[in-house]
Every structure is written in C-alpha cells, then in structure tokens.
C-alpha cells in the first residue's frame, strides 16, 4: 500500500455510530382506588387535583376541562367520595384519564365533614408525593367510615394521627422505653422524644408528660379511659407540630374552637 493511500485512509473520518433513540412510553395507571384531597383551578377550564391513591400514594393530576359546565368530571371529583381513578404520564403532574364514583361510604355531614377536611390537610402536609402507603389508605377509609357513622370524632382523629406517624416512618413503637430498653410501665410518666420515642419524664421537661398507660392504650387503640383521651390529644398536637416544622393546621384550629378537639 502506498504512503498516499495509507494517509488518505487514516485521515478519512469514520462514520459516527448511529444513536438508537429509546422511546419511553407514558406510564398508564387504570382502576386505582383513590380519594380527592384537594383541588384548585388550572388555566381556564381545568383543575389540578391532589389525589390519595391506594397503591401510588399522593399524586397530582391535571383534570382537563373539569371546570366546563357539562364535564363528566365536574360532579365526580369531590372530596370523601371513593373513586376509581386512571392517569398517564411521567411528569410530576400527570394527566387524569378516568375517574368514576364507586360508592360504599356514607357522606360526611356537619362536624364529621370538618373532621374529614382535617384528615385531608394532614395528608397533604405530611405525605410526600409518589410515596405509596396502602395501609394508611385503609386507615383513611376506616376513619371516614367511622366519622360517617357518628363514632366519637376525638377518638377517630387520634387513631388516624397515630397511624399516620407510624406508617410514614416518623414514629416507632411506644411499648419500649428508649432509655432502658424495657417495656413501658403503666404508672410511670414519660415524654415522647419526637426523633427517638418514649423515655422517663424529667422535672425539667417542657414536652407533654403522659402516663405509660396512655401510651400503651394508644398502641392498642383503646381510648375508653378519660385520661388517655385527654393526654393523647395534647401529645398528638405536640408531635404533629414538630413534624410539620411549626406549619399551622388550619382545620385543626377550627376544630379546637368549635369542638375542643
């Protein structure tokens, strides 16, 4: 081979490898149990809907045309109605493709309705998006059902608040003392360290002090004792305020003013 042909061959640029373009299909979800937590207007005719779904957690969906007078979605996307929901997309805000009312729950009325809005506000402010919590979803359905059947609101809310902290992983068991690693003793007073759990109360503590019996009752969802009801109310206010970094819960203030909950 001549020097000329060798040079020509070496200097000829090689063809760039052809890029294979991978086409990612939109994620499509169908027939997912869910509830509307909150919605707000988007553009002229649509809504952004915050949905709590059983298997996909809290998600944001754009409901296109939902504000139009004759939209089928207009009467469906209501709070506290069990829905079967479908959506598509990969972005933070997906597109609602279907929403059907499936029934099975009585409507909330009067004070129960206000308690329902409190549950929704807790979920919106404490649940990260796209973080599935199927057990918490079941707790939510149970709480709505109990409120609709006139169960004592204070007890229903305490049970749900406790389930919320446990299922989201910010609170562990309240059966073992973190200082001694021994089981709690019913007639000893404790405080709950928000990041660690129960420890014996000290005279200098400014955190709410609760009896060991109260904590054990809360673990077994037994709120029959008046002291448990009272102490659990102030304990949950303290813990929720901590995990919300002081952000106010608007519906709870209304509940406190009207119902002393």
pLDDT tens, residue by residue, 64-110: 999 998 898 988 999 999 999 999 998 899 999 999 999 889 999 99
Answer for the pair 84, 52: CB distance below 8 angstroms, yes or no: no
Please give the angle made by the CA atoms of 242, 245 and 246, to the nearest 5 degrees.
85
Q: Which of 16-30, 123-137, 244-258 has the highest mean pLDDT?
A: 123-137
**In this structure, what are the phi and psi dihedrals at residue 122, rounded to the nearest 5 degrees?**
-60, -45
Model pTM? 0.86
pLDDT tens per residue across span 41-61? 999 999 999 999 999 999 999
Please, what is the end-to-end C-alpha distance for the chain in angstroms?
A: 94
Q: What is the pLDDT of residue 126?
A: 95
Other beta carbons within 10 Å of 177: 19
Buried b (16+ CB within 10 A) or exposed e, 73-95: beebbebbbebebbbbbeeeebe
Q: What is the pLDDT of residue 164?
A: 97
* pLDDT over threshold 80, residue 21: no
pLDDT tens per residue across span 131-142? 999 999 999 999
Q: What is the mean pLDDT of residues 19-29?
A: 60
Q: What percent of the chain has pLDDT over 70?
A: 89
Buried b (16+ CB within 10 A) or exposed e, 13-41: eeeeeeeeeeeeeeeebeebbbbbbbbee
Q: What is the pLDDT of residue 9?
A: 44
């Amino acid at each position: 081979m001549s020097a000329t042909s060798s040079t020509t061959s070496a200097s000829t640029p090689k063809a760039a490898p052809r890029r294979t373009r991978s086409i990612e299909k939109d994620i499509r979800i169908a027939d997912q149990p869910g509830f509307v937590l909150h919605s707000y207007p988007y553009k002229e005719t649509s809504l952004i809907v915050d949905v709590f779904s059983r298997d996909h957690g809290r998600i944001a969906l754009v409901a296109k045309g939902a504000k139009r007078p004759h939209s089928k979605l207009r009467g469906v996307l209501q709070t506290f109605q069990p829905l079967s929901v479908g959506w598509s997309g990969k972005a933070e805000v997906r597109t609602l493709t279907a929403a059907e009312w499936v029934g099975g729950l009585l409507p909330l009325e009067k004070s129960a309705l206000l308690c329902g809005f409190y549950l929704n506000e807790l979920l919106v402010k404490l649940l990260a998006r796209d973080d599935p919590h199927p057990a918490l979803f079941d707790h939510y359905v149970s709480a709505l059902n109990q409120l609709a059947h006139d169960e004592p609101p204070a007890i229903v809310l305490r049970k749900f608040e406790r389930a919320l902290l446990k299922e989201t992983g910010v609170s562990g068991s309240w059966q073992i003392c973190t200082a001694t690693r021994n089981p709690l003793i019913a007639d000893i007073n404790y405080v709950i360290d928000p990041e660690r759990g129960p420890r014996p109360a000290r005279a200098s503590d400014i955190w709410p002090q609760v009896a060991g019996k109260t904590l054990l009752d809360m673990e077994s969802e037994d709120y029959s004792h008046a002291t448990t009801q009272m102490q659990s109310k102030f304990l949950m206010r303290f813990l929720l305020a901590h995990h919300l970094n002081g952000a106010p819960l608007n519906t709870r203030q209304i509940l406190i003013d009207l119902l002393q909950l």
